[in-house]
A and B are shown apart, each in its own frame.
Chain A
Amino acid sequence: MSRTVRWCVLGVGLAGVAVVLGMAFGSMPDFGIDRHPYRDLAVAASVSHGTANVVSSVNFDQRGLDTLIEETILFGSVVAALALLRPSDEEHLHRPGGGRGPLEGTRAVGYLMLPLTLVVGIDVVLHGQVTPGGGFQGGIVLATGLHLLYVGGRYRSLERLRPIPLFEYTESAGVVVFAAVGLATLAGAGSFLANTLPYGTFGQLVSAGTVPLLNVAVGVAVGSGGVVLLAQFLQQLILVSTDEAERS
């Protein structure tokens, strides 16, 4: 297909999508109105289950099965990326040379921010039921926070701090714990991921029944998954070299 033909097809397609979208948006409820039936139901259900953060309640209580599937998608794509990025037979790992490393200031900020970021990440995971946050957000903070070591020029300390095989296990463990909580509630209450634990005091750290438990499981899975993913990409960048590249 020549370039001109392709632009024409593209133009027709995009124009069609634009027209359909315009028609759909035209018949939608006005922006910013105060009629939200799902909101009313979700808020009532969340408050009755002692969850102050309604978004967490929706994710981990009201539609927990969807979140399990979402976590499985995450798990699946991490495994797939891991398989794709494995060094092939012609490639082998080499140790990076000394090099100059980053500025002293960058290094200092990296060291300073590392413990701080890890604490914030754990805090975000644990307070998912009372404040904005939860396992997904906190897990990403933890995974990327760990890589401040890399920004600070300490790739070898980073490697020591995150043994990849261990993180592969913890990632799977996060998914397994989530499913196990679901099965336990299925056995105990008769429905999958039903919130059967005591709801605690509304707005306190220990509240919302199974929500904090599932948040921690997701936080572990997302954090480990992020670490494993970033490790594969960093390995491609830093360690992998082909025979050809070495010969030239």
Chain B
Amino acid sequence: MSGYAYAVAGALLLLGGLGIARSRDLVHSVVCLSVAQSGTFVLLLAVGYQQGAPAPVFGSTTSPNDQVVDPLVQALALTDIVVSGTVTALLLALAIQIGKQHGTVDPDELSALEG
């Protein structure tokens, strides 16, 4: 059971990569990139997990103590999600422009270099 989360993270990364390579549509590739990136979220959170420990937010239910899950990787996951979201938006904008310029979003039909 211990390696389960790491296996999921690796599988997401590989499946996302497979999807990008097999993609016949640029929007589909962008979504696959998001899937691959979710692998990194799972990996980060798995690294910081501690069995039975609460979230690293102290209040009336949790007094400040050391037995919480790792906040550092959670902060990294937050950064990761923000960057992932903005990159996805940028790539979708590129896909829209490519669709307008070339009339297709199939990567296989976009082989010719221009300009």
| A residues adjacent to B (C-beta < 8 A) | 6, 10, 13-14, 17-18, 21-22, 25, 28, 30-34, 36, 38-40, 42-44, 46-47, 52-55, 57-59, 63, 66-67, 70, 73-74, 77-78, 80-81, 84-85, 88, 130-132, 136, 140, 202-203, 222, 225, 229, 232-233, 236, 242
Is there contact, CB below 8 Å, between A131 and B59?
yes
If A31-B4, A33-B50, A55-B57 touch, does A42 touch B18 (CB 8 Å cutoff)? no
For window 68-100 of B, CB contacts with A under 8 Å fall at 68-75, 78-79, 82-83, 85-87, 89-90, 92-94, 96-97, 100
Looking at the assembled complex, report how far the CB atom of B18 sits from the nearest CB atom of chain A, in whole angstroms: 6
Chain B residues near A (Cβ < 8 Å): 1-7, 10, 13-14, 17-18, 21-22, 46-51, 53, 55-59, 64-75, 78-79, 82-83, 85-87, 89-90, 92-94, 96-97, 100
In angstroms, how far is the closest chain A Cβ from the Cβ of B54? 11
Q: Are A22 and B10 in contact, with the CB atoms below 8 A?
A: yes
B interface, over-half SS: helix
Contacting pair A39 B72 (CB below 8 A): yes
Q: Given the known inter-chain contacts A52-B59, A55-B56, please indicate yes or no for A43 contacting B66, CB distance below 8 A.
A: yes
- Give the A-B pair count, Cβ closer than 8 A: 152
From B50, B64, B67, B96, A85 is in contact (CB under 8 Å) with B96
A31 contacts B5, CB within 8 Å? yes
